[in-house]
Structure 1
Amino acid sequence: MELKNCLRAAFTAGVLCMMTVFTAGVPLACRLTEEGIEIVSAEMTVPKILSFSVEDNSNLVMVCSSPVSVERVRIKSEDGEYVEENSAADYSQNGTQVNFLLKEPTKVGVNYVLTGLIKDSGGNELSFSLPFSGFNENPARLVLSEVRSKHSTSKGVLKKCEFVEVYVLKGGSTAGLEIVAGSDGDAKKYVFPDINVKTGEFITVHFRTVGDGDCIDELGANLELSTGTDSSPARDLWVEGTETRISDSDVVVIRDSCRNLILDGVLFSAEGKQSWYYAGQKALALEAFETGVWKGGWEPKDAVAADGISLTRTISRLNLDSLTLEFSEQDFTEDFVLESGVEDWALVEGATPGAENSTKIYVK
């Protein structure tokens, strides 16, 4: 009986060892005792990927928690075709930073996936799959202009939806730019298509598709294609689906995914809230504050007062005119931080998607 139990334990532990090596690439030490199998070491010491960024159209940078080597590196385009294999890797920072030097430059507006395997000095392995967009050498500089968090339905049909309006401070391509709301999280972020926009343009991103009119993305020069409710004479873009988006107390940011930078952000909250409801809101608020994009703090008490927000009362930026006068296109270098705070925003009367914001501040 003791032999049978020992063999059964040996088989179980052997399977466990094999599963651990397969999923994490970590050796698991076992030894046979009179009582059966004893686990000697099962610590998960797999190297971690701390950050990943696109430095330019031929250089991707990955930072790891420990010195690593990389193997089986491949880059695949969004259509599933492998466009490059075994890219040269250059190691720095004592081996914790890996620069992938591409043979062929990436293309603006094309989505890719970098896959491979990292291995540390102890033989621990981690397979990775990292999506990224082709590097945008001339990104537009967008700022948030207006946010509506309310929607309306009638007889089960969505009539009006949440939207985020942005303003173009510097013309260029929108490839790689994205809008993220803390309540929605990264999984539901809006990724701009590759559009060439001009300084002074308004763009309204409608966060759902409504039931009235045609919800058509205006990607080119014709800005009269969209007829869905709240379509404007300016550029309209639409998010597919009818799921509720953006909370009445929330954090919304514009991010440059190529450079992994937050370009602009706004925090708004009902008065008296002590903390953010969603972890994503807290994380975005803290990042916006620590990077200097949002002044004064990162908690709900440091946000724009949003009590009374409605279909016709929106969180609106008050200083677009002064921003346009104050900054030239030469100011917007990669490391330029455009800060804002509660004094630059207010809850105003009148939703104005695609047009200049109302200046009539709502008073309870």
Structure 2
Amino acid sequence: MDKHLLLLTVLVSLSWTCCTPFIDIDETGEVFGLTGADLAPPVLCAAGALDENSFALEFSEEVYEASLEGIVPPLGEASVEIVSAFLTIHTGEFQLPGKEYALDLRVKDRAGNSQQLLVRCYGHNPRVPGMLINEFTTRGSSTHPDMVELMVLEEGNLAGACLYEGTSEDWEQRIVFPACEVRSGEFLLIHFKPQGLPEEQNETEDTGLSGGLDASPDARDFWVDQGSGLSGNNGVISLYRDPFGEIMDAVLYSNRTSASDEDYRGFGSTTVMLRADYLSDLGAWTGESLPLCPEDAVNPEESTATRSLCRSSVSQDSNSRQDWHTVPTGAYSFGAINSDELYEP
């Protein structure tokens, strides 16, 4: 499958062909009754846009029949192609880059097990620019709320790119970027705790459009809808080409240590520990230990609302805590080249 295939975001309603309280699960995870009959419908494993006029879906087993009830918003006359466990939905019209589409379909295996699915995918965007998480604050104040800066590395269109607090598999809040042409060297400011003011506008064209706390007259401002701020001491921020696609960059941060607790390798919760492992498995974050421990993360302990966590002025990127430092009070640089000054207590 294409490496940009999206992971599953789906509302599933199961429709079983027979019903019995007595089931067995074999070593492959297949569900069988006492007679050995297959009782499980095909399970969706991945879905996403292959190109501008086709979506691809991968299932856990061979799909025998499939019917597409519709696509919202519509994309003209569509057809379904089945090849074993893979479906390709060919659309009569081109997708809009980054646009969310809902695919309503029913699939059935050879045993007659079927299910109805509503699968959400995003329109193919071949021009997502390279970007880095370049600066952030997690200990914001009432006048300088939590914010993340992205640095654009090449020209392209933001449509469908996604920034999470968390990861695409497990997250608290996110922003899916609208269509917006950007150039290399631009800065994007993502405000994670807006006040809900009318002037907090996403700047897809005019960089002077937006008002609100810490809005920049030069960089592009974007506002997380109903954002509640970032976890202050312990968490993950991650950036993807699309909401369930290829990871582009990530930051693991923690003020804890391996001795903080015994149950979660010091991370304080299963959630943060598993997110750290996810980043490690993808090669999106590295450390001196394996599995990762809190000492491998960026430590936000000395940061404040105006002492941000920054990459270097040349935005060095080794996917590790060595890329990051805390700047002195007032040296935060959202919307401009980072400061190389180091905070000294």
TM-score by length of 2: 0.79
Question: Please, which moves more after superposition, 302-311 or 41-50?
Answer: 41-50
- Whether the aligned pair in 2 keeps the contact of 1:75 and 1:85 (CA below 8 Å) is no
Work out which of the residue numbers 338, 342, 345 in structure 2 matches 1:361: 342
Q: Structure 1 residues 203 and 242 mapped into 2: Cα distance closer, same or farther (>3 Å)? A: closer
* Alpha-carbon distance, 1:167 to partner: 0.3
Question: Please, which moves more after superposition, 61-70 or 191-200?
Answer: 61-70
Tell me if 1:52 matches 2:47: yes
Deviations 1:240-263 (A, max 9, x none): 336343442111110112771001
* Alpha-carbon distance, 1:351 to partner: 2.2
Work out which of the residue numbers 233, 236, 249 in structure 2 matches 1:251: 236
Report what 1:312 is aligned to.
306
Deviations 1:77-129 (A, max 9, x none): 3xxx43345522131xxx12222232322122422111211211221112111
Tell me if 1:342 matches 2:313: no
- Whether the aligned pair in 2 keeps the contact of 1:73 and 1:116 (CA below 8 Å) is yes
Whole-Å Cα distance in 1 between the matches of residues 43 and 91 of structure 2? 23
Whole-Å Cα distance in 2 between the matches of residues 72 and 361 of structure 1? 60
Report what 1:215 is aligned to.
200
Whole-Å Cα distance in 2 between the matches of residues 43 and 215 of structure 1? 54
Report what 2:253 is aligned to.
268
Whole-Å Cα distance in 2 between the matches of residues 283 and 30 of structure 1? 33
Q: Structure 1 residues 75 and 275 mapped into 2: Cα distance closer, same or farther (>3 Å)? A: farther
The root-mean-square deviation of aligned C-alpha atoms, in Å, is: 3.0
Q: SS of the counterpart of 2:322?
A: helix
Deviations 1:197-245 (A, max 9, x none): 000001101112237893222110x211223121122111112336343
* Alpha-carbon distance, 1:160 to partner: 2.8
Report what 2:188 is aligned to.
203
Deviations 1:294-341 (A, max 9, x none): 222544232112222211222211263567xxxxxxxxxxxxxxx521
Whole-Å Cα distance in 1 between the matches of residues 156 and 219 of structure 2? 17
One-letter amino acid of the structure 2 residue matched with residue 60 of structure 1:
F
One-letter amino acid of the structure 2 residue matched with residue 355 of structure 1:
A
TM-score by length of 1: 0.75
- Whether the aligned pair in 1 keeps the contact of 2:77 and 2:91 (CA below 8 Å) is no
Unaligned runs of 5+ in 1: 1-21, 32-38, 154-158, 324-338
Q: How many equivalent pairs are there? A: 309
Q: SS of the counterpart of 1:98?
A: strand
Aligned ranges for residues 116-195 of structure 1 at < 5 Å? 116-153=105-142, 159-182=143-166, 185-186=170-171, 188-195=173-180
Unaligned runs of 5+ in 2: 1-12, 23-32
One-letter amino acid of the structure 2 residue matched with residue 142 of structure 1:
M
Report what 2:15 is aligned to.
24
Report what 1:69 is aligned to.
64
- Whether the aligned pair in 2 keeps the contact of 1:181 and 1:281 (CA below 8 Å) is no
- Whether the aligned pair in 2 keeps the contact of 1:271 and 1:306 (CA below 8 Å) is no
Whole-Å Cα distance in 2 between the matches of residues 299 and 58 of structure 1? 44
Q: SS of the counterpart of 2:42?
A: coil
Work out which of the residue numbers 90, 100, 110 in structure 1 matches 2:82: 90
* Alpha-carbon distance, 1:40 to partner: 6.3
